Amino acid sequence: MSAQTELPQAETETAASCCSPSGSCHSGGAAETPQAAVTTVYEVTGMTCGHCEGAVSSEISELAGVSSVKAVASTGQVTVISDAPLDEAAVRAAVDEAGYELTGVKA
């Protein structure tokens, strides 16, 4: 007998078709369909150091739907990844709460 073993046909088909072309391993309802993340870059003035970056990131990360925040003091840019577009007024209020000013959104 050779070192290679053939799998029965049914097992071969299952192993070869684990995921559909859409990237989903399961068929079913919309709850299983991954939602595309939204990335938005905000311009914030007043950040000068790592503490500033942390304060802004902390406040924005508390907003519903936010999954990631990266603030960079040297550029004044805050990159936010969220489940859906965020309300700019809510982001502005979060930045204000941290003690800084939201001056714009990069397109």
pLDDT at 26 > cutoff 80:
no
Summarize pLDDT for 34-61 with one digit per residue, the tens.
Answer: 678 999 999 999 999 999 999 999 999 9
* CA–CA gap between residue 12 and residue 28 (Å, rounded): 23
pLDDT at 11 > cutoff 50:
no
What does the angle CA 49 – CA 54 – CA 59 come to, to the nearest 5 degrees?
A: 135
* CA–CA gap between residue 84 and residue 36 (Å, rounded): 8
- Say which DSSP state 64 is in: T
Cα distances from 69 to residues 23, 30, 60, 73, 78, in angstroms, run 26, 27, 7, 13, 7
What mean pLDDT do residues 60-85 have?
Answer: 97
Q: Which domains does the chain have, with CATH numbers?
A: 34-106 (3.30.70.100)
